[in-house]
Each structure stands twice: as structure tokens, then as C-alpha cells.
Structure 1
């Protein structure tokens, strides 16, 4: 094939691609809705599930504690001003004292296992949330003003991009606030700011966290698992036995960010019911 034929073939291929991207099956957009950017289109097409749903057989979230506020440096990713559907969003530089009222929604199975805006793995059973402008990560107290229930979540993602909605809760957080039942709820959110510890603060004064991976009545299996995970993840591990129930425990950790990172690794290894508990 000579050069002219190659160029002609490329032009023909380009016209086919353009034709596919604007096929009649694509939902029509109203004149007031900006066309999807390449980034927006990627976000819509990257997930296996078209519409978000709850897990098929959700596990109980009663044992999952609310997020424990701790000082964390802001992430390298997810903290730049950005544009979605033609709307420009500016990250709040100083969120201390920030409060907001509006509607909360939730997100679950569609996004489970995918990366959040700051590069973490989204886990619908974690006490996390998404906000359009708060720096990542941030800790927020969320109060469902429809029923008075409240909890604390760790914001590590962006969204929701629907009018009137101010926060997207994880499946676990939404369940605790009874937002799952209604789909959305009226909420008030308040940022919880934790100052950076000074060098004079002793390590012993920092909060301690543990990860409970699994429990069983078979002590030998639990001991083998604890040893295996300790070696794979390079963390301390041990078995806690009580009332003939043997639990695999990792830690303790005095860094909440490291605890969450380790929890993500544990879940990627297949232990989806693992959770963080305070020592």
C-alpha cells in the first residue's frame, strides 16, 4: 500500500469512529447540557454496570465503626480544580468550619473496586463519601435531618454531580443513616478538622487501630492465615481467642492512612468483610 492509499485508509477509519461515537442509540442531549468531554465519556464507560445498585447479598454493616478523624496530609491526586460537564469546580483551600446543607445520595456496586479520585480503591463497605470541593481526604460529620441519625465519614472521592446533592455516601454509610431506604435524604454536613501533631506529641498518645480480617472456630487455620498475611503485607499479626472464637488481627497501627491502605490490600486478597477497629 503506497502513502496516498495509507492516508485515504486512515481518513476512512476516522470517519467510521466519529460515526460510531454519535450513533442514534446514544441518549439525546438537551441544548442546555454541554457535550461530554473525553474525560466525562471515559467516566461513563469505564464501569461494568450501567446503573448503580446495592450488592446482591449485602453483609451487615452493624460492626463497621464510623470513620475516626485523624490528621492526614492531603493526597497528591484529586486535589486540583477540575471541570465536569462544563461546570468548573474549585477545591476549598481551608475547609475548617465548613458546613453545608442539601441532599445526600449513595453509590455502591457499580463503583465497588474502582479507583476513587485520590487513587484509593472504593469499597462500598467502608465509611467513606464523595464531595465536589472538599480537599481529599477530609473527615465529615453527616446528619440525616429527616431522622436525626448521624455518622462520620472520610471523603476520598468526587461527586455527586446532580443538582441539589452535596454528598455521595458509601453503601455502608448510607445504610447507617437509613438513606438506602429512601435513595436520597436531607442532610447537614460539617467538616471535622484535626490539627497536625507537633513533634512534642509522643507516639504513645496517638490513637491505635487494628484490622480484624476473619474469625473461625478452627484455631489452626486462623493461625496459618495470620502468619501468611503478616508475611505478605509486612505487618504485625496475631490471633485473638475468646469464647472459642479465634480472630485474625493485623496491627496495631498508629497511622490511620496506613491502616486504610492495609485494609484495601486485605480486601483485594479476598477478605471483603475485614474492618478497622479501635484498639
Structure 2
């Protein structure tokens, strides 16, 4: 078979336990202000809480955000089912109580004034979203808040995901459904802008492949198709720029403020 006859390479399905995942995630973080913007917003949310006794971070990952917020709370519970990430979490947050279960099975031993789940709901079946949110709410102390973060569905990144997978994530709809079922909770959604600036197409493709792995890829697109999509839509002088604004769904528990 000649090179011209070779099958085109497809987007790689990345195991979250692998070094490839770590490298792709590192490339994403190195070229975006998303995490910095999220940290600013979360510190602001924490500062306005009446009490800061306990933080629960459900899906804490490597613990960077957990460690930042833990400074503002007397006690921290970090939930992370991925063993690979949990080892890093233990190093980043040595004083936190770490639970190795997921949202559906974890049993925190106390209620929290802030329950956070950042960029986790991508990985949950859509039919389980409301149940997962209700479970997070059940861990929340009176007067506390639940915060769920995902990318806004109209960002460039989520349009890319929808183009190649058909998947769409909408926290506003989830919040309305939750508030409709429990009228005592206050619900709001705010959007914080963020961007990815990749210096070249190769880097942009690595980041795009990482984003596409947010969902199962039974029929992954070709890398060439992804590169063409990026060139046609996101090329700017000096590289590639695409938006990754974040939606913050905040639910405030009834109770003393």
C-alpha cells in the first residue's frame, strides 16, 4: 500500500489514565485563561458565603482548584473516582479528606457550605444530570451554595464538539428543571468569558482532540477534518483563537444567610 492509499488518521481516543491525556490537558491549560477566570469567579463566590466551614469538590481532578478554594474553608472534602488523578490530588491537597467514589456513590460525612462540580457533567449520561445535581444539593448546608461549571454551549469549543459529535450541554436548562422541582432554592447562571490562543495548527489540533474526548467517540472524525474545521473558523494572525466561555450554575440553599 502506498502512502496515498493509507487510511487517514482519526482523532485519538484518549484514556484519562494515560500520559497522552496528561499531555493533551497540559496543552489545553497552557494556552487558555479558562482556569484563571474560573478561579477568580469561585473565590468571589466563596467570599460572599455567610459560612465557610466545609468545601466539597466533586470531581476534584488533580486538585488545583480544590487547593485554591481550600484556603477559604476550615475543612475540605475532595471527591475523585479516577485513581490516576487521585494520586496527584493527594499530593496537591494533603490536608483534604479524599473520597475515591463518584457523585452517585460518594458519602461525605458532613454538609458543605460550598459544593463544587467543575467540568464533570460532560462525562455523565444526560439522563443522570438532574439526579446528580439533586445529590450535590443534598450535601449542601442550609444557606450554602452548589456551583456546577461547564462551557457555555455557544462557545467555539462547544460548536466544534457539536459539529463532530452532535452533543450539546446546557446548564441553564438543568437549572430551570431543578428550580421547577424545588422552588425553595434560588438559581442563577452567569457566563465568564475565556479564550484559547494556540500558536500554530498542530497545537490547535491537540487541544481540539482533547475537547472531542469529553464525550464517547464511537466514530471519531479524521484529524484532517478537524484541522480543516480549525483553519476555516479559528485562524487569526499569529495562530488560532477560539472561545471557551464558562457557565456557572449556582443554586443557593434555603436557610439562614
TM range (shorter): under 0.3
Q: TM-score if structure 1 supplies the norm length?
A: 0.23
TM-score w.r.t. the length of structure 2 is: 0.25
Which one has the largest radius of gyration? 1
**Bigger RCO of structures 1 and 2 (CA < 8 A, at least 6 apart):** 2
Which structure has more strand as a fraction of its residues?
A: 1
More helix by share: 2
